[in-house]
Structure 1
């Protein structure tokens, strides 16, 4: 064999060895990448978008926060996709409202908890109250976020659970985040009280499309006259007698506005106004869901400020 042929053959062998080595490196990279994406960053999964906003303020950049409920959705009826259900089961921590709010998601949360995933039911840990009227009377009221003081407590609870269960987070950073957010919520509480203090006591009466503002009423001195849907969930329906009873109560109390959730059609409130022949405005509020950016309630703080202005305007002096 000539010297030139031997050299050419050695180069071909070396080339094949190099390609084999590169293929091995690429395969290792793919395998490592799959393992990395499977573990990835530490993960906190949150059911509702209101709790999602609170949790993101507490967690900051310390972990990935995945929120299941889209902007504008109804927490009583929204569901999750298969990938979202899988994310719940893989999470380092699941944060949910509890008290029966997320009716179509609770089985996934329960399955994750049974599989050993740490789960925080925030509503159950912030001194919940019960409904006082309607079909849900004496049942736990899940709408705790309408009381900003309880949201401040929730931020601390979330921070504690994150630092205990989520791998790799900086406890000091999470603590500072929770403290800073708590200060913003405290400022919100003070501002809300100042706005509501401008409403005469005889006009501090609330009628909503369903029972959702019990916590706000308790915190700021309102009386809940009733709800178009006499229940704590939007999945219920009022009867003709329910509407008649509410119309009578509105007329007796001299209520000037019905507050309807912006994520729900206000058809029932409009029907009540039309059928009862009473003079009452229908005012939209962002009570159970945040909006997309620019739609008026993209964050919890923005939502509560918008609601406060609407309530103060709707019930304020003429």
Structure 2
């Protein structure tokens, strides 16, 4: 049975179609040409997963550009309007998209179906750092669940269910088939990651990052998180002198000489540790919070995880 919310959305889509027919000029001047139902996704990582599941059954709009920071990207007025005219909005949640959540809430208030994926994948909380230093993130929910491909499997299944339930006009059999195919790819990814990480000795599975982003990977694959240059779950914070002293002390005690820094963020903070530890630190870039543009080395979730696995394995076995 059609709900009042879906009736409103259908009327909105009809209105946009009529406007498109009346428009003249360039394609950027009017929003015509694609009358498929619309799924809008906040982050590009979830956008890639959603596209794998939806296929050609609906149009998928991803708000976050390649190589962007999910903690700080914002929306244009047009993007905010796209949210409120979507059939379904998929967002990470758990505080990740800090500048976008109010727009998601506005879309939800307007009757758009929304799904907060992070809450549904057995989220972890940030743990107190092994370096013994202060950590403003400890005890708060960790939104970076995608570093565990098993949780991405849960996310993909949830998105498939939401698409089938809330997006009129899609073929359920096709969506389910796409989801099953992608699930098999994620299973193979996990097995490959396990085999790759087996190259790292147990006492060498220690991670230091530029901010807290690999808690889920550590939990799933048996790594110890020694600490972070920025003791926070967001890239918007800055370290203090005492933070750096605590971290460098823990790194010396653990014999860690590698810091993993997100490729979309400056590595200046990680470079500071080189001075603190006498230049014996290697900074290895990872694709931790954003996909790259097409051909950039991590333009899909699967390629991002494979690139990171190789980088972590090489970084922790080179010493």
Common fold: TM-score over 0.5: yes
- The yes-or-no answer on 1:182 pairing with 2:177 is no
| In structure 2, distance between residues paired with 1:285 and 1:117 | 35
- Could you say what secondary structure the match of 2:159 adopts? helix
- Could you say what secondary structure the match of 1:95 adopts? strand
- Structure 1 segment 23-62 matched on structure 2, within 5 A: 33=21, 37=32, 40-62=35-57
- The yes-or-no answer on 1:93 pairing with 2:101 is no
- Could you say what secondary structure the match of 2:199 adopts? coil
| In structure 2, distance between residues paired with 1:304 and 1:232 | 20
- The yes-or-no answer on 1:256 pairing with 2:262 is no
| In structure 2, distance between residues paired with 1:180 and 1:30 | 37
- The yes-or-no answer on 1:63 pairing with 2:64 is no
- Counterpart of 1:223 in structure 2 is 224
- Could you say what secondary structure the match of 1:224 adopts? strand
- Counterpart of 2:10 in structure 1 is none
Quote how far apart the aligned CAs of 1:295 are.
1.2
- Counterpart of 1:303 in structure 2 is 304
| In structure 1, distance between residues paired with 2:117 and 2:172 | 20
- Counterpart of 2:201 in structure 1 is 200
Q: Runs of 4+ in structure 1 displaced over 4 angstroms?
A: 29-32, 34-39
**Consecutive unaligned residues in structure 1, runs of 5 or more:** 1-28
Q: Cα RMSD over matched residues?
A: 1.7
Mean CA deviation greater in 29-38 or 86-95: 29-38
Residue deviations 1:134-157 (CA, integer Å, cap 9, x gap) = 210010000000000000111110
- Could you say what secondary structure the match of 2:208 adopts? strand
- Structure 1 segment 65-214 matched on structure 2, within 5 A: 65-133=60-128, 134-214=135-215
1:200–1:317 Cα contact (<8 Å) kept? no
Residue deviations 1:80-108 (CA, integer Å, cap 9, x gap) = 11110000000000000000000000000
Quote how far apart the aligned CAs of 1:76 are.
0.1
| In structure 2, distance between residues paired with 1:256 and 1:204 | 12
Mean CA deviation greater in 275-284 or 108-117: 275-284
- Counterpart of 1:8 in structure 2 is none
| In structure 2, distance between residues paired with 1:32 and 1:73 | 31
1:256–1:314 Cα contact (<8 Å) kept? no
Higher Cα radius of gyration: 1
In the comparison of the two structures, how many residue pairs are matched? 290
- Could you say what secondary structure the match of 2:294 adopts? coil
| In structure 2, distance between residues paired with 1:39 and 1:291 | 26
| In structure 1, distance between residues paired with 2:119 and 2:305 | 21
- Could you say what secondary structure the match of 1:306 adopts? helix
Identify the structure with the greater helix proportion.
1
- Could you say what secondary structure the match of 2:247 adopts? helix
| In structure 2, distance between residues paired with 1:116 and 1:125 | 21
Please give the TM-score of this superposition, normalised by the length of structure 1. 0.88
- The yes-or-no answer on 1:241 pairing with 2:242 is yes
| In structure 2, distance between residues paired with 1:38 and 1:262 | 36
